Structure 1
């Protein structure tokens, strides 16, 4: 038994170094495109799109959630590259918190986008009477609820300092031991409210839109808006499953390992190894979400194209006027 435990401990020590490299490279790959795409998306959505029925407010909030996580990536990259955290425990906890806030805010806003597109397609009169302030109130409620629900992720971590006064952070923060009731409540809440519930809602939206499209095809009344709504919900479903399903499948097992509910060495090792991989996959949503805005929102492409053309024309005109003045 001792030799098995020693082997497991040795393997996990080697994996810790590999994990640091994994986080460093993945976050480096995500940072630049995530920052550029989300900054551009936020600028275009806020300045040029005035449509009330295109879930624009929810897209703006989704972009803000992605930017909050992307802006914390340089500090994460520094920690995993240098293996030290000189920025204080408060900033460590904030960056740690933003990771999970981004994940669950993204999940909820993807659900809101799918629900609104489905509801406005099936109930066009509801769309006409819908007010922008309704979306703003819903978004504020989402941030409040998600912010409170993500607090256990940081409450479960304890501050820890090594002997050389270098503060550890993120994955190296030790886990608090929870009671059986608290552990079960957290597992059920995260899985049901954070994954299975949203998955069911998005799945129902997809089913209703497909059903509506088939009915309209039979009556030869299918429209472009129906196909666009279906593509929107399908892409939301794809991003949701690709980014968040691996993490939530592994999260339940990972929490059982950290709380010593699963004690088998090989099983615990496999679960711990897959945990950082699933977190890296979840972080990819910062780069994938802008695809929803660009490829599925006609107004986004039109306004971006028109503005880009106007800027180019302005530069050409200024260049021509300067050259003619010189002549």
Structure 2
């Protein structure tokens, strides 16, 4: 009696005959990723350099620094995907993509999701406690939490590298699942469900926090309504919504697609036509996910005054504009004087 693993492997052999349109998979997507790579490496390289000059004096900046590290690692995986999908290099590189670079891509994706959730929580705390200051203890806690996220996600991802251990051939490198051991397929499916849990939990946190932030903004708008400055204050505060906009654009579409696509890879539950459709939808939404590496720098620029000030000084080679210089009136923002208050 065949085992489930044997059935899955048989399904994968049948699936390998279900090829996608080479014009889309070998030309269009590689071109789109090339554009992302050029923009992403430029923006994140500059962001990394800027953040090296900014001290980690608040939880907010610590979380932003971790996000930019995650983004730069994600961008560095793009060339391997581009060359492999476009078939511009020997088939052996496809094996490396399946075993290493693709795992790193997903590893950094969920790190970015977790840090966006933490940044949102920090912005909610800023909205409700504008005079809150970061203590040495809270900064240490933020660093320990950041380290725990990296270690935990690495622990989840490493088995996907180790268990992609079958001998690589020109035929089986076409589908990464064919390179996995029987337990590797099981672990891959388990990790996908864990990652889905991470996404949906982060989404819930972000939606709740933004609902509460919106309430605080409305209260603030009503309080300042009679001063004649309400409109300009509201315009400034709306910058904080860039986080939820980036999250919904980049991550929500992919996660509505990932479960059925994973099932198409690990179980024989879809016919060839459905598999092709899922492949195109998955690749399209995955490109939107990759776009996150190019959109995150806008979060740094609009929400972090330290980053914006240092960037403008670097690009213009002159002192930052007067409106970006610290003023005495801003000292009521506590240790977050360099960040845009909610």
Normalising TM by the smaller chain, what interval?
0.7 to 0.9
Equivalent residue for 2:50, pick from 44, 51, 72: 44
Say if 1:160 and 1:173, in contact at 8 Å, map to a contact too. no
Which residue of 1 is the match for residue 3 of structure 2? none
**CA drift at 1:251:** 0.9
Q: TM-score, normalised by structure 2?
A: 0.74
CA contact 1:58–1:112 (8 Å) conserved in 2: yes
1:61 aligns with: 66
Q: Distance in 1 between matches of 2:143 and 2:36?
A: 29
Q: CA deviation at 1:241?
A: 1.4
Alpha-carbon distance, 1:161 to partner = 2.6
CA distance in 2, matches of 1:217, 1:239: 24
Aligned to 1:120: 126
Q: Using the TM superposition, give the Cα deviation of residue 293 of structure 1 relative to its aligned residue in structure 2, in angstroms.
A: 1.0
Query: Could you tell me which residue of structure 2 aligns to residue 206 of structure 1?
Result: 210
Q: CA deviation at 1:178?
A: 6.3
> Would the alpha carbon gap of residues 66 and 183 (structure 1) be closer, same or farther in structure 2, given more than 3 Å must change?
closer
Residue 162 of structure 1 corresponds to which residue in structure 2?
A: 169
Tell me how far apart the structure 1 counterparts of residues 89 and 202 of structure 2 sit (CA, whole Å).
Answer: 36
| 1:94-133 paired onto structure 2 within 5 Å | 94-129=100-135, 131-133=138-140
Distance 1:176 1:282 in 2: 28
User: Do the aligned partners of residues 265 and 307 (structure 1) sit closer, same or farther apart at CA in structure 2, a change above 3 Å counting?
Assistant: closer
- When residues 169 and 156 of structure 1 are mapped into structure 2, their CA distance, relative to the original with a 3 A threshold, is farther
Cα 1:32/1:172, change in 2 over 3 Å: farther
Contact 1:44 1:304 in 2 (8 A): yes
Residues 165 and 180, structure 2, Cα contact 8 Å, conserved in 1: yes
Contact 2:94 2:173 in 1 (8 A): no
1: CA distance, partners of 2:73 / 2:185 = 33
Distance 1:123 1:265, change over 3 A: same
Task: Name the residue aligned to 1:322.
Answer: none
In the alignment, structure 1 segments of 5+ residues that lack a partner are: 313-327
Given the superposition, is the C-alpha separation of residues 278 and 133 from structure 1 closer, same or farther in structure 2, using an over 3 Å criterion?
A: same
How many aligned residue pairs are there? Answer: 301
Q: Deviations over 1:173-197 (max 9, x none)?
A: 545556998687445422222x211
**CA drift at 1:169:** 6.9
Q: Tell me the distance in 2 between the aligned counterparts of 1:280 and 1:156.
A: 26
Match of residue 289, structure 1, among 292, 296, 300: 296
1:145 shift after superposition: 1.5
Cα shift at 1:198: 0.5
Q: Do the aligned partners of residues 120 and 127 (structure 1) sit closer, same or farther apart at CA in structure 2, a change above 3 Å counting?
A: farther
Residues 271 and 308 of structure 1, relative CA distance in 2, 3 Å threshold: closer
Please report how far the alpha carbon of residue 268 of structure 1 lies from its aligned counterpart in structure 2 after TM superposition. 3.2
**C-alpha distance 83-53 of structure 1, shift in aligned 2 (>3 A):** same
Q: In 1, Cα distance between the equivalents of 2:140 and 2:236?
A: 24
Task: Indicate yes or no: 2:71 matched with 1:71.
Answer: no
Deviation of the 1:116 alpha carbon: 1.0
- Cα 1:91/1:178, change in 2 over 3 Å: closer
Confirm whether residue 231 of structure 1 aligns to residue 239 of structure 2: yes
Deviations 1:152-211 (A, max 9, x none): 654664544336xx9837757545556998687445422222x21111101111111111
TM-score, normalised by the number of residues in structure 1: 0.77
Structure 1 residues 223 and 256: CA distance shift in structure 2, 3 A: same
Residue 146 (structure 2) pairs with residue 139 (structure 1): yes
CA contact (8 A) 1:52 1:132 kept: yes
Give me the CA root mean square deviation: 3.6
The alpha carbon displacement at 1:296 in A equals 3.0
